[in-house]
Amino acid sequence: MHAFTLVFLAAVALGLALRLWLAARQIGHVLDHRTRVPADFVSSIPLEAHQRAADYTVARVRFSRLEIVFETLILLGWTLGGGLDLVDRLWRASGWSPLLAGTATVLSVIVIGALLDQPFALWRTFVIEARHGFNRTRPATYLGDLLLQALLLLMLGVPLLLLILWLMGRTGSVWWLYVWLVWTGFSLLMAWAFPRFIAPLFNRFEPLEEGPLRARVEALLERTGFRSRGIYVMDGSKRSGHGNAYFTGLGRNKRIVFFDTLIDKLEPEEIEAVLAHELGHYRHRHVQKAMWLMSALSLAGLALLAWLMQQPWFYAGLGVSTPSTHMALLLFLIALPSFAFPLTPLFSWRSRKQEFEADAFAHLQTGGATPLVHALVKLYRDNASTLTPDPLHSAYYDSHPPASIRVEHLHRLDAADSR
């Protein structure tokens, strides 16, 4: 067996074992604490809601274990099982030019992967989410979303893929720099265009109506110096009972978006606090920092791929018989997550740190912890978010601090103000 094959199998096995172990810890920890509401939430979240959140969390994690095993089998099937090699040989036999055959190969793998994921996506949406009272997606809406996504892939993804493969094959040893510039430009364009041109294809966005809430929001925007192209309410209830708020876009094309489910569940001062938290990300430039980090990582990744493309063992060790630019790209995209998975806690830690910074900003802008704490408690309750995650599982995966730690942090900010 090829040496790199052994390295790849070791990475896959380690990732599989770690993911299943963390899932088992999460299930056990949540079930162990199912019968008692944490002391900090006894007065605000009833036992029935706490148990509902525990059952919802356990159901999702148990199902994720099946997905983890299935994804691992598919990964091995694509690589060592010869799946990628088979698709590549079929398109090579078509007589098309290397560029078109390579594009078709990559596109075929993407489509087949999406189709293989559909049974899991359907079960998550129409069984787990429905069983716990969150799903509001109709089959027609679900199918329409799939068709729109396929159309966007054809209109945006295929031309981008053609350009990338052309650059990889025609611009010499520094192709990775040209591809990085194209990818960065495309990412910035999508971030700018998403709120105005893409998101409205999937949801309806209505301007926030005049009234006390809009007055609060506009006053907050004035205090924080945030300029946007509008304040909108999105029909999130079209698909789910979960509530949220976010801002999106770049430059002058920024928009503030509230889910209609959030508007229905929170008081105006609580919505203001949630928005202040989101604006905290803007004030601390978290979005820009994330884009710079992703840009740097993509540059390093493309430089690594440029080196790997020249190594015969990279192809042979992952089950590919005929080296090519498109197969190198596919192998890199498919195999990289297995080697990068141990780095997940670093990104999670960074995200949680930024959440604390955004909470501190919201605390400052809304005159204390109370509005945001009340909003968070309602969101934890209504979204069935567990109050008792396993500490290791949370540290590894969670982009937000656990509920008890986050609320305690906000109360400490209040205590510091009172000194």
Return the closest-CA partner of residue 309 out of 320, 323, 330: 323
277: annotated binding-site residue?
Answer: yes
Specify if 270 maps to a domain.
Answer: no
H helix or E strand, kind and range, residue 341: none
Specify if 308 maps to a domain.
Answer: yes
CA 117 – CA 18 distance, rounded (Å): 22
Residue 123 belongs to domain spanning: 3-162+303-343
**Amino acid type, 403:** A
What are the strands of the beta sheet with 231-234, ordered from one edge? Answer: 205-207, 231-234, 255-259, 245-248
Query: pLDDT tens-digit profile of 285-325?
Result: 898 899 999 999 999 999 999 999 999 999 999 999 999 99
Specify if 244 maps to a domain.
Answer: no
Higher pLDDT, 80 or 265: 80
| Mean local confidence (pLDDT), 342-354 | 96
Residue 241 per-residue DSSP state: S
E strands in 173-319: 205-207, 231-234, 245-248, 255-259
| Mean local confidence (pLDDT), 159-186 | 96
CA 134 – CA 127 distance, rounded (Å): 10
Predicted confidence (pLDDT) at residue 354 exceeds the cutoff of 70: yes
Alpha carbon distances (Å) from 389 to 54, 93, 131, 277, 393: 9, 52, 21, 23, 7
Higher pLDDT, 249 or 378: 378
Residue 202 per-residue DSSP state: H
Could you tell me the pLDDT band of residue 211, with boundaries at 50, 70 and 90? confident
> Which position among 270, 278, 382, 390 bears the catalytic label?
278
33: annotated binding-site residue?
Answer: no
Specify if 268 maps to a domain.
Answer: no
E strands in 271-415: none
Query: pLDDT tens-digit profile of 41-81?
Result: 998 999 999 999 999 999 999 999 999 999 999 999 999 99
355: annotated binding-site residue?
Answer: yes
Specify if 156 maps to a domain.
Answer: yes
Specify if 76 maps to a domain.
Answer: yes
> Which position among 71, 270, 359, 390 bears the catalytic label?
359
Return the closest-CA partner of residue 265 out of 389, 156, 173, 375: 375
Specify if 348 maps to a domain.
Answer: no
Could you tell me the pLDDT band of residue 1, with boundaries at 50, 70 and 90? low
CA 31 – CA 393 distance, rounded (Å): 14
State both tokens at 224.
């924080």
CA 72 – CA 341 distance, rounded (Å): 13
Model confidence, pTM? 0.92
Catalytic residue list contains 210 = no
Q: What is the pLDDT of residue 366?
A: 84
CA 385 – CA 391 distance, rounded (Å): 15
Q: Which residue has the tokens 């192809």?
A: 315
Alpha carbon distances (Å) from 116 to 71, 161, 167, 328, 384: 9, 22, 30, 22, 28
The count of domains in the chain is 1
Could you tell me the pLDDT band of residue 418, with boundaries at 50, 70 and 90? low
State both tokens at 239.
């698909």
Specify if 39 maps to a domain.
Answer: yes
- Contact (Cβ atoms closer than 8 angstroms) between residue 261 and residue 242: yes
| Mean local confidence (pLDDT), 87-112 | 96
Catalytic residue list contains 129 = no
- The mean of the pLDDT values for the chain is 92
CA 370 – CA 417 distance, rounded (Å): 13
